[in-house]
A and B are shown apart, each in its own frame.
Chain A
Amino acid sequence: MTKKVLYLCHMFKIRLTMHLLSKIYHFYYDGFKNMKLGKSLWLIILIKLVVMFGIVKWMFFPNHLKTNFDTDLQRGNYVLEQLTQTKEN
């Protein structure tokens, strides 16, 4: 008896989750489908993100300390060296 109740509860939970996921999916699907100006804006966002992360970040903006050193100890030592060099700016 208890097993049967538990099974029914489990099935009900799964159905509820599926129903919720389906509602969320349709919410976004309909939202994107019915967009007018939004479509152009999404295109601009996508182009921009590709340019920024795919080209600009990858080609021109390596993380200086992460690229040149393997450990935080090395990075810390390098910055300490920079700070303690007698360098006039």
Chain B
Amino acid sequence: MENELALVDWSRAQFALTALYHWLFVPLTLGLTFIVAIMETIYVKTGDVWWKNTTKFWMGLLAINFAIGLATGIIMEFEFGTNWSNYSWIVGDIFGAPLAIEGLMAFFMESTFFAVMFFGWDKVSKGMHLTSTWLVALGSNLSALWILVANGWMQHPVGMKFNPDTARNEMENFWEVLFNPNGVSKFLHTISSGYVLASLFVIGISAWYLLKKREVLFAKRSMIVAASFGFLTSLFLLVNGDTSAYNVAQNQPMKLAAMEGLYHGEDKAGIVALGVLKPEEEILKDPKNPFYFDIEIPNALSFLAHHSTSAYVPGINDLVYGNEEHGIESVASKMQKGKLAVEALTDYKKFKKEGNDQKAQIALASFEKYQHVMGYGYLAEPTDAVPNVPIVFYSFHIMVGLGTWFLLLFIVVLYFSMINEIENKRLLLMLTILTLPMGYVAQEAGWIVAEVGRQPWAIQDMLPVGMATSNISTTSVQITFWLFAVLFTALLLAEIKIMFKQIKIGPEGGH
């Protein structure tokens, strides 16, 4: 039992490490491709060669980020096959199609047009080059779509049917999987947060030039493009954040309760804008007051979760222990049903082997009745259905707080850039440089909310992480964990070093 826990924890830690490192590179590519495409569009429209050089400089930094980040995601696919083989097998048919499309799209679209984008200056027509740049931007973002369709399915499995003979989920409706509301809102939220990060990146580096009194015109013009792009995408993120929260409330109420530190459900629930959680033992004694202090926006959570200011939002305790008044089933009851599903699956397998089709069909009917909560059958305690509340709560609030700060910053930077005063605002310029790493913190915090918040599930309600792992030795996972920690840190240091060198050279350095 202790070994199993260690294996699951190390496998999770390894996946988290690779995913978090991978996500240091991806969002910048997603956003910077669009910023570069916008700059090149201005060049083609105005014919001003100065914009061409500006585009080329940011394209150079994009190339560094792309090259260093390239294939870091493949490690996760290795891990699926080795550490998470049960999970890979069970989701195989669902993941197969989106990931195959992602592979083809990433390889053919991105790599073909990436070459034209970098090698094609003065060799292909301006129009063809611009089209290639836009296609790289669209291609990299569409690659993200397929990954997030797969991730959205894990959080809200739709459009599939579990085949008890093969132990695989088989796709019944591709469009239902593709347009899964959870996947769509996750995709939009993820790519637009990448645009915000790229905007912060361009603004931060431009601010450095202005502080050094170098490349002044280049920096000011880059800032206007980036601040406009960042402002618009931040506004979109606000609207999309509301849709994401609504989807989470409908499909993963436990995650929403953890995000808000809501232990005791209530009507007209408010959002905690700022708060410090008490330790778990103290909360258990008084679940109505889980905070040492908090600043609340009244009724906002009810509105966010159900689009009604007076709606009831269930808390963690309601979801664990049930709430008859609001028709919420307890985890203990779901665990009983889940165990019945597991037993029925065992019987089905046994009767099939014995050739007793009649009994096999009865077992199958019983399995199908409780299959939707099968995962609960593997939980040891009802409280196992609760994710780590402090991690989810603080990550969520860090992400939202930083997102709000970024929006304000974009407005202020855009204003001072438009009135041509930005180079005199040294404090603001320093703030924009300090905000750049915060952009990465917000990105990672967002993924922590999404992934820690859905624990203990690998597939929501159907497969807990403990059942998703392979039967392999913990030591081998520990060794590869440290191997990746070293490898990814080296890549990150290489990226920072090459980036800094290229930034110091400046826009005149070419690519």
The answer to whether A41 and B64 touch across the interface, beta carbons within 8 angstroms, is: yes
Known contacts A40-B498, A52-B75, A65-B89; is-contact A84 B81 (Cβ 8 Å): no
The answer to whether A49 and B85 touch across the interface, beta carbons within 8 angstroms, is: no
Interface string of B162-196 (1 = CB under 8 A from A): 00111110000000000000000000000000000
The answer to whether B378 and A61 touch across the interface, beta carbons within 8 angstroms, is: no
Binding site for A on B (CB under 8 A): 1, 4-5, 8, 60, 63-64, 67-68, 70-71, 74-75, 78-79, 81-82, 85-86, 88-90, 115, 118-120, 123, 164-168, 342, 345-346, 349, 378-380, 456, 464-467, 470-472, 476, 479-480, 483, 487, 491, 494, 498, 502, 509-511
The answer to whether A76 and B89 touch across the interface, beta carbons within 8 angstroms, is: yes
The answer to whether A87 and B467 touch across the interface, beta carbons within 8 angstroms, is: yes
* A80 partner residues in chain B, CB cutoff 8 A: 164, 167, 345, 349
Task: Flag whether A70 is at the interface (Cβ < 8 A).
Answer: no
The answer to whether B63 and A76 touch across the interface, beta carbons within 8 angstroms, is: no
Task: Flag whether A63 is at the interface (Cβ < 8 A).
Answer: yes
The answer to whether A76 and B167 touch across the interface, beta carbons within 8 angstroms, is: yes
Known contacts A48-B70, A83-B167; is-contact A36 B79 (Cβ 8 Å): no
CA distance A27 to B74 in the complex (A): 29
CA distance A57 to B80 in the complex (A): 12
Known contacts A64-B82, A88-B378, A89-B466; is-contact A37 B71 (Cβ 8 Å): no
* B511 partner residues in chain A, CB cutoff 8 A: 35-38
Select A61's contact among B79, B165, B498, beta carbons within 8 Å: B79
* B63 partner residues in chain A, CB cutoff 8 A: 37-38, 41
CA distance A52 to B86 in the complex (A): 23
CA distance A16 to B82 in the complex (A): 49
The answer to whether A83 and B342 touch across the interface, beta carbons within 8 angstroms, is: yes
Known contacts A51-B487, A64-B82, A83-B467; is-contact A76 B166 (Cβ 8 Å): yes
The 8 closest A-B pairs by CB, nearest first: A89-B466, A31-B119, A64-B85, A63-B81, A41-B67, A61-B78, A84-B346, A79-B167
